[in-house]
Structure 1
Amino acid sequence: MHPSLRYIQGYPQHIVEQVKSLVDNGKLIPWFEQRYPLKHQIKSEKALFEYVMLIKNQFMKKTAPVSKVGYDNKIHLINNALGLHSVISRNHGGKLKSKNEIRISSVFKEAPEPLLRMLVVHELAHLRERDHNKSFYQLCCHMEPDYHQLEFDARLFLIYLDLRSCS
């Protein structure tokens, strides 16, 4: 099996076979570029923070605030994660203060905007739902109706990046 196919491990075999066929026949790169011809322009931490806050304020005004958002070039190395939501607790004057932080894998600086949006939606959903349960995915789909397709396409994007770096 092509090493890049590890990103879609766990998907049904017939889907893995379709992607493998695209890879083996050299068709995944042109297919992906036709499906997503444009990359987003959200390159800076400030622009990413503003982008996250727009989505948060549209769908999740009443959830805990997000104090920090950024790209992280180490995330991709950890269990193939695409983004991370963390709660940082600090002792401040005898009181424990917690802050929500969202980090997005740096490889998504070069991604199409819908894939970045899917990641942001995923991490924002963790403000309300810690686990990847039914409620979590319902919230993701509320914020992004094409969530599941975009999540799959984000994995295809990782395969696309691997193939491009090899060619």
Structure 2
Amino acid sequence: MMPRETLKYLNGYSLQLREQALELLDRERSGPWLLQKYPKAHQWASEKALYGYARDIKDRYMRSSAPVSKVVYDDRLHVIKNALGLHTYVTRAQGGRLKSKNEIRISSLFRRVPEPFLRMILVHELAHLREKEHGKAFYQLCCHMEQNYHQLEFELRLYLCHRDRFGDLW
């Protein structure tokens, strides 16, 4: 039986996939494989750039959905309990009115990852604007916005396992 803590980000996947991932990690091939597939980090390191990137994705696929008021990197958001990002719906009282805003927070460790990984996280959080629960409709929307959504999620989780063992790549 393989140690569970070694692949904590991949616990939801089949035993066969976890064994393949563990083999890549144990043979120290995960880093070279990821670097060959994704040679460089994305260009959206500032929060202004991140907001613009998220807005572009939303405008392309979800124009009629509620607007997003804030998209930020969050140093306090750790990749624990499988959370890669966080979508929040904030309601504040302003005068005699209630004002609602959608906010997306992305863990700061994703400030330097390849663009497809960042896109997958943003697609996931944007999908929560329409679908609050992780059901069939939610994942269909994710796949509509990012055709390789499931593969990218797996590879990002493999990277997180690699990062725990060996450190950052980008």
Q: Do these two structures clear the TM 0.5 threshold for a shared fold by scoring above it?
A: yes
Worse overlay, 115-124 or 33-42:
33-42
- State the match for 2:108 in structure 1: 106
**Contact 1:32 1:160 (C-alpha < 8 Å) held by counterparts:** no
Q: CA shift at 1:149, angstroms?
A: 0.4
Give the alignment's TM-score, normalised by structure 2: 0.93
What letter corresponds to residue 10 of structure 1 in structure 2? G
Kindly report the root-mean-square deviation, in angstroms, between the aligned alpha carbons of the 2 structures: 1.4
- State the match for 1:146 in structure 2: 148
Give the alignment's TM-score, normalised by structure 1: 0.94
Q: Match of 1:54, SS? A: helix
- State the match for 2:87 in structure 1: 85
Q: CA shift at 1:10, angstroms?
A: 1.6
Q: Which runs of 5+ in 2 are unaligned?
A: none
Aligned residues: 166
- State the match for 1:76 in structure 2: 78
Runs of 4+ in 1 over 3 A off after TM superposition: none
Q: Distance in 2 between matches of 1:164 and 1:24?
A: 11
Q: Match of 1:127, SS? A: coil
What letter corresponds to residue 57 of structure 2 in structure 1? I
Distance 1:157 1:71, change over 3 A: same
Deviations 1:33-68 (A, max 9, x none): 111111101100000000000001101111111111
Q: CA shift at 1:2, angstroms?
A: 6.7
- State the match for 1:35 in structure 2: 37
**Contact 1:129 1:135 (C-alpha < 8 Å) held by counterparts:** yes
Q: Distance in 2 between matches of 1:131 and 1:66?
A: 18
What letter corresponds to residue 23 of structure 2 in structure 1? S
Q: Which runs of 5+ in 1 are unaligned?
A: none
Q: Distance in 1 between matches of 2:22 and 2:154?
A: 14
More helix by share: 1
Q: CA shift at 1:26, angstroms?
A: 1.2
**Contact 1:22 1:28 (C-alpha < 8 Å) held by counterparts:** yes
Q: Match of 2:167, SS? A: helix
Q: Match of 2:78, SS? A: helix
